[in-house]
């Protein structure tokens, strides 16, 4: 990878790692369903007028928007609003890697290899350690909802595989047309018109920054640069960079939000990262030519 593209990959990981701290900032002034609606409205408009629609069937576009955009962030935003710390959210959300492997084996008949099982077992032990710490800085409801968000991300990955090759930026932009109306409907139902009006009427600078960051920086810039890298290099060379997201997320949450991990949570975080590494790299030696 060229130094320029290595720098772009670093920017993406920094942007996506900081994403969780920004979500926390946004939730301080905007309820979760309303925040989701605002995020995807601005991510879709006016970008759909400048980005070509991906060449996939409409049903897959709707399924992508309903899972990886609506489902994932409805659960994630709610999780963080009911007590999931930003740093731990960035880590637990990476369980999507194991959900994706399991769903791929179940729905796409992909091979579930030994290193996948080993990585899953290691990470599951780490998640169990983290989950046992509910009731302190982290709530069990927040932990469970973050796992639900990871499952929705994994379902979105399966949808992407079923849809076939598609321009990633186009998929993100056009898929962002799906969530706004459901998000606003959920906000009206769950959060109520008075809370919506109060949030919109008292938007502060940090809330506006959060919406703009989530819409343009995390969504359009992040996925745009990621799509560029994926188009120029093998997926196996680019995808492992995502392992750095929770490292940035945990560090940023500690530095900006003063979030601290207990010793069991720290050990659990290390086990999850070890499991992700085994899952990503465990089969590499076997696949290399003799």
Quick one: average pLDDT of 105-134? 78
pLDDT of residue 290: 40
pLDDT of residue 244: 82
Domain presence at residue 35 = yes
Report which DSSP code applies to 151.
H
Domain presence at residue 57 = yes
Banded pLDDT at 97 (limits 50, 70, 90): confident
Domain presence at residue 195 = yes
Cβ of 134: how many Cβ atoms within 10 Å? 16
| Alpha-carbon dihedral sign for residues 17, 41, 70, 117 | negative
Quick one: average pLDDT of 62-90? 94
Cβ of 7: how many Cβ atoms within 10 Å? 10
Domain presence at residue 288 = no
Number of domains in the chain: 1
Residue 123 pLDDT greater than 90, yes or no = no
Residue 286 pLDDT greater than 60, yes or no = no
Percent of the chain with pLDDT over 90: 46
Q: What is the pTM of this model?
A: 0.87
Residue 256 pLDDT greater than 80, yes or no = yes
The most confident of 56-65, 241-250, 261-270, by mean pLDDT: 56-65
Domain presence at residue 114 = yes
Lowest mean pLDDT among 72-86, 242-256, 272-286: 272-286
Residue 134 pLDDT greater than 60, yes or no = no
Quick one: average pLDDT of 122-139? 73
> How high does pLDDT run on average in the chain?
86
Banded pLDDT at 211 (limits 50, 70, 90): very high
Domain presence at residue 290 = no
Helices (H), ranges, 189-282: 192-201, 205-212, 222-232, 235-238, 245-256, 263-281
- Look up the domain containing 32 and give its range: 3-281
Query: Residue 242 in contact with residue 281, Cβ under 8 Å?
Result: no
Helix (H, G, I), strand (E, B) or coil at 290: coil
Q: Provide the angle, in degrees to the nearest 10, between the axes of the packed helices 3-27 and 245-256.
A: 50
pLDDT of residue 4: 87
Domain presence at residue 289 = no
Domain presence at residue 21 = yes
Cβ neighbors of 107 (< 8 A, separation 6 or more) are 158
């Amino acid at each position: 990878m060229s130094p320029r593209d290595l720098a772009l990959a670093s920017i993406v990981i920094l942007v996506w790692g900081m994403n969780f701290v920004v979500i926390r900032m946004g939730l301080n002034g905007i309820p979760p369903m309303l925040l989701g609606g605002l995020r995807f409205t601005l991510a879709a408009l006016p970008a759909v007028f400048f980005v070509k629609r991906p060449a996939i069937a409409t049903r897959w576009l709707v399924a992508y928007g309903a899972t990886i955009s609506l489902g994932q962030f409805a659960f994630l935003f709610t999780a963080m609003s009911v007590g999931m710390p930003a740093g731990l959210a960035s880590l637990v959300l990476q369980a999507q890697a194991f959900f994706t492997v399991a769903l791929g084996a179940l729905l796409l008949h992909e091979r579930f290899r030994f290193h996948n099982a080993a990585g899953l077992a290691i990470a599951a032990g780490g998640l169990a350690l983290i989950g046992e710490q509910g009731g302190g800085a982290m709530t069990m409801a927040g932990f469970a909802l973050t796992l639900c968000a990871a499952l929705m991300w994994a379902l979105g990955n399966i949808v992407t595989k079923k849809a076939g090759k598609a321009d990633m930026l186009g998929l993100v932009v056009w898929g962002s047309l799906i969530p706004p109306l459901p998000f606003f409907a959920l906000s009206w139902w769950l959060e109520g018109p008075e809370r919506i009006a109060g949030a919109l009427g008292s938007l502060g600078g940090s809330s506006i920054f959060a919406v703009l960051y989530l819409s343009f920086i995390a969504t359009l810039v992040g996925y745009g640069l990621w799509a560029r890298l994926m188009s120029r290099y093998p997926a196996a060379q680019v995808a492992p960079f995502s392992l750095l997201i929770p490292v940035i997320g945990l560090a940023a949450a500690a530095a900006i939000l003063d979030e601290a991990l207990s010793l069991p949570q720290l050990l659990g975080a290390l086990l999850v990262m070890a499991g992700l590494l085994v899952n990503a790299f465990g089969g590499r030696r076997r696949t290399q030519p003799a």
